[in-house]
Structure 1
């Protein structure tokens, strides 16, 4: 099956398809990708085998502004994309289609109207489902249906797919294929099918963070004595939060985690928790003041990549080509979770929707 990956980032959709190909479930071949961030494209290019005839689309706005570019794309059967989500995110201004980034969905529509691939798989933040009292999602569904697609969607939590990260995202599947009456597209059903299969796959899978955390890392990943009290604080009288560390199922990675938010938003781990493989958790017995005296560190870029289902080598390969930690954290936070995409595609293949 030929595939076009939009808003590629570090290639979460592509990685899932590479593993499906490797597992002899179905052969996938990428015909092109779009990515505007040069650092993300570096990570992408050093970790995938890019065919000489594969089209690097670059900035999708510039690319789709000329219809000849769209027409020049090779035929493909599946379009994927985690289109920019900041305008729909709970952490953003939730301006939706009123902001330029929210218009990126319509650049997808520009391509779909010309190329009409059989299948589309899109990812976005959970808040897209209810944004603007449901009108934003209704608009997306209506636009896809207007050009002949059947549309399905549900909320998927990465933690349900054997990656220890609480990360809820909406996945939208659209197809022009004839759909059986009994077809269901639900996260619960797809997770159940994945549970029967995942141990036989080439995917990375972990049940808790302790299978991801490395015992020894560079000192630069440890929090300074000055910053620990601030990051561990439960907030002020105007803003209260539960700033716990040592979460066995990590909080959702964010694109801004390199800025180091409070522990209610980011993931931090004490060294005794790491070395004991989670058997010792000082959170259970210590005050915040006592915790602040312990060696505590943030995730490394390699660990962040692993929490999204990528091999740690992806981050190391990017580092060897000059990609800094800050960019790697951003890339991990923006990525789609590989196991979730694998599970969805496997389910669609098993249901004979993708064939």
Structure 2
């Protein structure tokens, strides 16, 4: 931890004054000495966020993303909850919901996962220990799956034939979403969270979404849906995805999607100065042409490759802005790193931070697979925000303690 870092606005440096602020414990960190501590506050752009003006939910979300060093902080362990959330996932990828639950400190049990990609499954199982693990969702006896409270899934966006049909579960037959719906039908979880590309809303002239909505209603779930951009929930990335949240109709509970944070992080927030930049990340500057960025956009394009054809390949973005969406093909996006003053690509570890997995997550696969897996994944930060609103009663009962300003 750096000494002399002053963390409250309006306090003169070096005066030795102390300021008390009630900050909710929100992020677990393992220190070099092996001790587990719980961070109550973070520094963003060298300043402490004015947490007293933020809601509890916003405090939690900021702390979960930004884990900068803090100075002279009193820590306390959270009180454990008595409830355990039983969950299952399909099209599990590398486990964004699982990682979000861990980061939130929600007591949970991983009842089952389903993932057909062998490399994604290898990564998943290196980080989680589900009670049941399956490969092919089409070959499962859904009734043999363990009971769950919540089900997370996503699926490829496929068309349905609407001729003579009115929408519903049977109209999804022959598509992978049908198999996910069959799990809901068999296990009847209290909640589900479904993620897909925002194009599903207009896919096949809106017929695809019409069928899926009718299927959820037939399964006895009330739903809310919304397109969320990860940049508004702590990820320095322009990633828009459709989320459908379902609550079983017999449960007396409402749900509202989380409000965007008032602060959009930039790529510089995930770049660490003490990490060496390897040669394979550096760009050949021969054909790089500087460009004046648009100050009104979050993605700040500061240069282009003059010898490339497609805009997505040509652009070079500033790390003072956000990243374009990470894709399954691996991020082709290049950056001008304003911290190191270099044109370069981001490392796999930095891409992992953008998606919210951080440095503790294990990737036992080649770098090309890491990029693919991160591009396919949900953003962990968005899942944290959704879960904070969906199951607030399961969040740790954490005492508000005091943060003491360094002398």
TM-score with structure 1 length normalisation? 0.71
Match of 2:152, SS? strand
Report if the CA contact (8 A) 2:304-2:316 is conserved: no
Write the deviation string for residues 117-148 of structure 1: whole angstroms up to 9, x where unpaired: 12111111111112122221111110111121
Q: Which residue of 1 aligns with 2:348?
A: 301
Report if the CA contact (8 A) 1:159-1:167 is conserved: yes
- For the pair shown, the structure with the greater C-alpha radius of gyration is 2
1:142 and 2:244 matched: no
Report if the CA contact (8 A) 1:233-1:243 is conserved: no
Instruction: Name the CA shift for 1:184/1:27 in 2 (closer, same or farther; >3 Å).
Output: closer
Which of 249, 253, 259 is equivalent to 1:191?
Answer: 259
Task: Give the Cα separation in 1 of the matches to 2:138 and 2:93.
Answer: 16
Higher relative contact order (CA 8 A, sep 6+): 2
Which of 362, 373, 392 is equivalent to 1:350?
Answer: 392
Q: Which residue of 2 aligns with 1:2?
A: 86
Q: Which residue of 1 aligns with 2:14?
A: none
Instruction: Name the CA shift for 1:210/1:107 in 2 (closer, same or farther; >3 Å).
Output: same
Instruction: Name the CA shift for 1:312/1:150 in 2 (closer, same or farther; >3 Å).
Output: same
Structure 1 unmatched runs, 5+? 64-68, 89-94, 196-204, 261-266, 277-294
Q: Which has the higher strand share?
A: 2
Instruction: Name the CA shift for 1:329/1:132 in 2 (closer, same or farther; >3 Å).
Output: same
Task: Give the Cα separation in 2 of the matches to 1:112 and 1:234.
Answer: 51
The CA deviation at 1:42 is 1.5
Q: Which residue of 2 aligns with 1:331?
A: 373
Instruction: Name the CA shift for 1:351/1:185 in 2 (closer, same or farther; >3 Å).
Output: farther
Q: Which has the higher helix share?
A: 1
Instruction: Name the CA shift for 1:222/1:240 in 2 (closer, same or farther; >3 Å).
Output: closer
The CA deviation at 1:179 is 6.3
Report if the CA contact (8 A) 1:164-1:307 is conserved: yes
Matches within 5 A, 1:112-127: 112-127=184-199
The CA deviation at 1:240 is 6.3
Q: Which residue of 1 aligns with 2:277?
A: 217
Write the deviation string for residues 144-175 of structure 1: whole angstroms up to 9, x where unpaired: 11121111100111011111111110100112
| Greater alpha carbon shift after TM alignment, 110-119 vs 218-227 | 218-227
Report if the CA contact (8 A) 2:255-2:390 is conserved: no
Q: Which residue of 2 aligns with 1:268?
A: 334
Report if the CA contact (8 A) 2:220-2:249 is conserved: no
Instruction: Name the CA shift for 1:243/1:81 in 2 (closer, same or farther; >3 Å).
Output: same
Q: Which residue of 2 aligns with 1:96?
A: 159
The CA deviation at 1:224 is 3.8
Instruction: Name the CA shift for 1:297/1:73 in 2 (closer, same or farther; >3 Å).
Output: same
The CA deviation at 1:30 is 1.1
Task: Give the Cα separation in 2 of the matches to 1:75 and 1:305.
Answer: 31
Match of 2:339, SS? helix
Write the deviation string for residues 63-122 of structure 1: whole angstroms up to 9, x where unpaired: 2xxxxx2111111111101323xxx4xxxxxx6347x99911101112122221121111
Instruction: Name the CA shift for 1:274/1:252 in 2 (closer, same or farther; >3 Å).
Output: same
Task: Give the Cα separation in 2 of the matches to 1:14 and 1:47.
Answer: 9
CA-atom RMSD, angstroms?
A: 3.0
| Greater alpha carbon shift after TM alignment, 70-79 vs 325-334 | 70-79
Alignment: residue pair count? 283
Matches within 5 A, 1:236-255: 243-246=315-318, 248-255=321-328
1:44 and 2:102 matched: no
Structure 2 unmatched runs, 5+? 1-84, 162-171, 290-302, 395-407
